[in-house]
Amino acid sequence: RYLFSGYATQTRPFAKVSAGGIETARYDGDSQSFRIQIGNEEYLEIGKSGESVFLESGLFDILGTLKKALEENDGETIASQIDQLKEAEDHLSNEIADVGAKAARIEAKETILADLNLQLTERISQIEDGDYAAMIVELKGKELAYEAALASSARLSELSLLDYLR
């Protein structure tokens, strides 16, 4: 499986090509990236195509031109390509930061889901393994309290204003 081929994971993402004596790369992968569901209606793009990571910044063209300029000892071209290489580095740094932010988001979701799973497991255990005798006694006590409250309110509703004044 190739990492930067998008959905075409069996396809080599880049092929080496030459154009005007400069070696560069052609993208042969797919431009779509992977998405996973991380919530009810929440999706996260987890993969990047090589096209968006490397070709948008022109990295391969820059490196090819820089290689030719070094071979020909062309100082002016070398200087301009180094400036462009710094811009491509910034682009790659942004892509790496984006991946890091997504990884942190996935880890946070994993933690939330693990905590929720633990709570649900504990609740199921309480229900399944509970002391039935104690639960019945507690329920009967609540039932008696409820019935007493109903009887008391029924007696109060029977009283008239004269009964209150006595």
Between CA 151 and CA 143 the distance in angstroms is 12
At residue 31, the 3 state secondary structure works out as: coil
**CA 51 – CA 34 distance, rounded (Å):** 14
Compare 34 and 11 and report the one with higher pLDDT. 11
* Stretch 24-48: mean pLDDT: 86
Query: Using CA of residue 92, residue 97, residue 100, residue 105, what is the dihedral sign?
Result: negative
Contact 116, 123 (CB under 8 A): no
Q: How many CB atoms lie within 10 A of CB 131?
A: 9
According to DSSP, residue 54 is labeled I
User: In the structure, what pLDDT confidence band is assigned to residue 40 with cuts at 50, 70 and 90?
Assistant: confident
| Residue 81 neighbours by CB distance under 10 Å | 22
Q: Is the whole model's pTM more than 0.75, yes or no?
A: no
Q: Which pLDDT score is estimated for 158?
A: 64
Structure tokens at 27: 């993208």
Q: What is the pLDDT of residues 72-118, one digit of tens each?
A: 999 999 999 999 999 999 999 999 999 899 999 989 999 999 999 99
pLDDT of residue 156 exceeding 80, the answer is no
Domain boundaries defined on the chain: 14-128, 134-165
